[in-house]
Amino acid sequence: MDKELIVESLSPMEREVLPKLGEDFLEIKDFSEKMDLDKTTILRAIGFLKNKGLVESETSEKKVIILGILGVNYLKKELPERVLLNKLVEKEIIPIGEIKNVCSLNDNEAKIALGTLKKKALVDIKLGKISLNAKPEEVRKKMIEELLLEKLPMNIEEIVDLDKLAFENLKSRKDIVEIEEQKTTKVKLTKLGKEISGMNLTEDLLEALTPKILKQNQWKGKKFRRYDLTSPVPRVYGGKRHFVNQSKDYAKSIWLDMGFKEMSGNIVETGFWVFDSLFTAQDHPVREMQDTFYIKDTKGKLPPKCKKKEECVISNVQKAHEGGIDGSKGWQYKWKEEDAKKVLLRTHTTSLSARKLLEIGKTKEFPAKYFALGKCFRNETVDWSHGFEFNQTEGIVIDENANFRQLLGYLTQFYKKMGFEKIRIRPAYFAYTEPSLEIDIFHPVHKKWVELGGAGMFRPEVTIPMFGKHIPVLAWGQGFDRIITEFFGINDLREVYKNDLNKLREMKFWRKGE
Amino acid sequence: MTILTLNRKEFEKKVGKVTKELEKKITDMGTPIEEVTDSEISVEVFPNRPDLLSIGNFSRAVNQFNKKGKIANFKINKPEKNYTVTIEKSVKPVRPHTVCAIVKGLKFNDEKIKEIVDIQEKLHNSIGRKRRKLAIGVYPLDKIELPIRFIGKNPDDIKFQPLESNREMTGRQILRGHVAGREYGDILKDNTVFPIFIDANNEILSMPPIINSEKTGRINSTTKDIFIECSGSNLIYLKKCLNIILASVSEMGGRIYAMNIKDIKDGGFVSPNMSQEELKFKIKDIEKTLGIDLTEKDVRNYLAQMGIDYEKRKGSSIALIPAYRTDILHWIDLAEEVAIAYGYDNFIPEIPNISTIAYEDPTDKIKRTIGNILAGLGLLETSSFHLTTKKNVKKMHYDFNEFIELEESKTERDVLRMDILTNLLQIASENSDAAYPQKTFEMGKVFSRKPSEDPEEEINEEESLAISLIDEKINFTELKQVLDYLFKMLDVKYSIEPVDNSNYIIGRCGKIIVDGKDIGFIGEVAPRVLKNWKIKMPTAALEIKLDFLN
């Protein structure tokens, strides 16, 4: 870069620091004291100068022994062993049990004081009493630990002989000495730095543009300092919607674009709408407590009974289960109203579809296309691929002419727009659909097929109690959370609703389908 | 999920070499391959196909699907002398039905014994609903004396040595002291009589659905002929289940003999009945359902691939369903059979040209708007669970007791949330290492019980919004600024009415009122609450119900 331009990019603090440096390495503290700037400002200035290639630096680390909290205290007063020694000079004999009181030490200090003096053979212990066993000059002589405390701080490399021994002794006692890692940075000018340093650095450059400068036209004929546009800036975080909600909004827009109407409704439902209306036998394992969250001590309401039994959805559902709708054999057991009244957290959003069928059975407004995207609940032990709460993307198409190929059409379209070009369908079983299928998407990162969930056409045992006759209904409900995790780089479903704020702040925006 | 594991060598003997191509065929058939090793092949069998749960039955289906096998036809020999099982009145209250058969000419080895134990277990756990609905027993014919009686007896008078035990036990002792008794005893325990099969020598064969007798109920490698029974409450399922087992043992080379079932109360019948069931259907219904064109020949071939026979009688199409299939309830099930044989991969997806008008749920719309407004103010949206713990709720609402509890939750969370603020405070508590200010919000459903005399109550679900601002110098004013801006943008007029709520600092808490209706709280959270949550910073929070916006 042109040297003139470099000069124009130097900030006031850089201008101040640069002339203080020479061609030999200097420690920052060697020149910082002579300057008006605080150390942080100097360090920042040096950082900028380095970026511009004007200075080079060398950082060395050393370990330094410094005084700990107790050490500072003991240096000011006395080490516990000195206290005890002095008291012994005064009293000659002290019973072990009374060291604490006599010397005003705590348990720990008393123990250490005695131990240390014993180790140094300055005392005798007989019958639980201690007495002095040293000549006065030995008592007067400073102990090596005391000498060390006075010398600190010291570089750990430089410590030798008695100091080293004293350090070892004190290290085992808490908070007297500590090791601190100290960084020292030395800086010197580079060749370019030397040249710049020799140039005129006093030209008056404008820093920030202020309203005053603007108003008084002070900028005229002057130059602004050039910024280093490449240097990193402090990070900021914006507010944003949760990533699951961002992607849900997108998925919803796919269904809306295809002319689907949104269904909404309760999370807390009766067994009737989650299971019975969907031809799921009352002894089906999915209805057990091990799989489904039931609400304690609560019974729910069923659709009202009607005068004509054949018009009544409950009677028709019962008939479908027990056997006898449209030539179907049903499940051939005694259906119980009580089981249908149990209240639970919906295990799939298909309960919304079931309710919608009944509504449309009354209004007869079809062809109709509906979707839902909402939370479902399963009483599962949580692990990386299972959660007890998850979103499901649900849809139904009610049309006299609906068929299996159309079901594939809608699903292919949706997953394509969600970014999955390759989907696979294979046979599956669900109590309420026939034919049924399972959808897998090809995971572009893991390079394998991932199971998403089911789809199919509602069985006559489901549709007839709602419509009075069989009208084909395409239906699907797949796990939603696991199709968005890959985009956000999440490998463990437990992270989806963890709300780690650091991660949420860093989380990128949903950007598929743009 | 039921996994069928097949011995690869035995399986290959029946279906040929397991190639990648065959693996794909097996998956296409509706039994996804779970794992293939040098010695074993595991496939997933869906709960509607218990008839596939043995190597014999599964191999038959694979061969049929692969157009290499014929439709199964089972020869049933007439009952011989004393081939009778009498169901006495005494057993009716506890286990009303049984169906039985005799199979001769089997060659058992360890592999085959394992196979027969295995299929029993698999059937018990699937259509048997863990033996609650039905249970199967298999006995060596040379150890028992026909005819057999199925009777109910006082459990203390039942005495025999069960399998896996070295001593005689009474019925009640078995329930308490035997492994199988402890596992399945619940099915019997409340009955005054327990069911037993007993032979002409008054030797107990078994006490279903718990355990067989060691003396008369253990198959070994010298066994050639067996007696099979299937007992339970639902006669239709019992017959199906017996047929599945018989289909499987007939693949092992056995000859099936019928038995006379004498039911003292309900009359008698000959068991088993393995003739095909007829199901009338229309080819055009299947074409319409699947959206493809089919000739009669196509349908005949596709059904044959699925092991189903086809007949045209008086102009009607009739499917002849093999006796072991339990899942064909209605013609719609034939549509799926045809679809599977046609190949799911071969369907061409299509979007029909029907016009419908889209509609978005207004609550979702307003939530998105609110989310965008608050995000514009720099707030971060969180998303947390609807389930929480009592302890968490009580950290703020210490006197709250109207919990909506879940039965036997496998997670520690066992109640529905009554507000969202609890979640936000928990998030704050778990994120003390994240930089402040922490400004978060969340929207979602909260739950409460409707005050009602009606025992059939409905649980209230309301949309709620909570906001929490946490920082060293946060106060009421800053949060009210947020509320002010939000409501201004939504064109909502509101007022705040001071209220004493000990969850907030007294004198710094208010009710939020819109159209004279109380919609929520705003305030500085009480130090007690912050301490409970171990939140180290001042927190201003609000929560409002959103239903007034609709």
Q: B428 and B497: one domain?
A: yes
Is residue B255, in this structure, part of any structural domain at all? Answer: yes
Is residue B309, in this structure, part of any structural domain at all? Answer: yes
Q: Does residue B290 sit at the A interface (CB-CB below 8 Å)?
A: yes
Q: Which of residues 474-533 of B touch A (CB under 8 A)?
A: none
- CB distance B344–A437 less than 8 Å? yes
Fold of A3-62+182-204: Arc Repressor Mutant, subunit A (1.10.10)
**Identical fold, A3-62+182-204 and A67-177:** yes
pLDDT by residue (tens digit) across A331-347?
989 999 999 999 999 99
Q: B116 and B157: one domain?
A: yes
Q: Which residue shows structure tokens 């800086």?
A: A187
Is residue B423, in this structure, part of any structural domain at all? Answer: yes
Is residue B220, in this structure, part of any structural domain at all? Answer: yes
End of a domain among B225, B250, B271?
B271
Closest CA–CA distance from residue B415 to any residue of chain A (Å): 9
Q: Does residue B288 sit at the A interface (CB-CB below 8 Å)?
A: yes
Q: Which residues pair with B465 in a beta bridge?
A: B443, B544
Which chain A residue is nearest to residue B441, measuring alpha carbons?
Answer: A241
Is residue B352, in this structure, part of any structural domain at all? Answer: no
Nearest to residue A432, comparing CAs of A341, A353, A327, A319?
A353
**Per-domain residue ranges for chain A?**
3-62+182-204, 67-177, 245-506
Domain of residue B410: give its range: 362-549
Q: B406 and B457: one domain?
A: yes
User: B368: domain CATH number?
Assistant: 3.30.930.10
Domain count, chain B: 4
Q: B366 and B340: one domain?
A: no
Q: Which of B1, B337, B356 to mutate to test the interface with A (most CBs of A within 10 A)?
A: B356
Per-residue 3-state assignment (H helix, E strand, C coil) for A52-95: CCCEEEEEEEEEEEEECHHHHHHHHCCCHHHHHHHHHHHHCEEE
> Which residues in chain A are contacts of B327 at CB distance < 8 A?
429
Q: Does residue B353 sit at the A interface (CB-CB below 8 Å)?
A: no
Closest CA–CA distance from residue B470 to any residue of chain A (Å): 13
Do A332 and A320 touch, CB atoms closer than 8 A?
no
Q: Does residue A268 sit at the B interface (CB-CB below 8 Å)?
A: yes
Q: Could you say which residues of chain A have pLDDT below 50?
A: none
Q: What is the DSSP letter of A288?
A: S
- CB distance B351–A413 less than 8 Å? yes
Q: B309 and B327: one domain?
A: yes
Is residue B374, in this structure, part of any structural domain at all? Answer: yes
Is CATH 3.30.930.10 correct for A245-506? yes
Q: Where are the beta strands (DSSP E) in B300-402?
A: 309-313, 316-321, 380-381, 387-388
> Which residues in chain A are contacts of B331 at CB distance < 8 A?
327
Is residue B236, in this structure, part of any structural domain at all? Answer: yes
- State residue A1's pLDDT score: 60
Q: B103 and B181: one domain?
A: yes
- CB distance B133–A327 less than 8 Å? no
Closest CA–CA distance from residue A261 to any residue of chain B (Å): 4
Q: B255 and B283: one domain?
A: no
Q: B182 and B101: one domain?
A: yes
Is residue B84, in this structure, part of any structural domain at all? Answer: yes
Per DSSP, the residues of A139-157 read HHSPPHHHHHHHH-SEEGG
End of a domain among B293, B315, B345?
B345
Q: Could you say which residues of chain B have pLDDT below 50?
A: none
Q: B46 and B85: one domain?
A: no
Q: Which residue shows structure tokens 């405390």?
A: A149
End of a domain among B345, B374, B392?
B345
- State residue A55's pLDDT score: 92
Q: Where are the beta strands (DSSP E) in A358-471?
A: 368-377, 389-398, 423-427, 433-443, 448-458
Closest CA–CA distance from residue A387 to any residue of chain B (Å): 10
Given the DSSP bridges, would you call strands B438-449 and B380-381 parallel, antiparallel or unpaired? parallel
Q: B331 and B266: one domain?
A: no
Q: B325 and B459: one domain?
A: no
CATH classification for the domain delimited by A67-177, as one of 1.10.3300, 1.10.10, 1.10.1060, 3.30.70 = 1.10.10
Which of A382, A399, A404 is closest, CB to CB, to B339?
A404
Q: How crowded is residue A442: how many other Cβ atoms within 10 Å of its Cβ?
A: 14
pTM: 0.84
Q: Which of residues 191-210 of B touch A (CB under 8 A)?
A: none
Q: B154 and B244: one domain?
A: yes
Euclidean distance between CA atoms B70 and B99, whole angstroms: 27
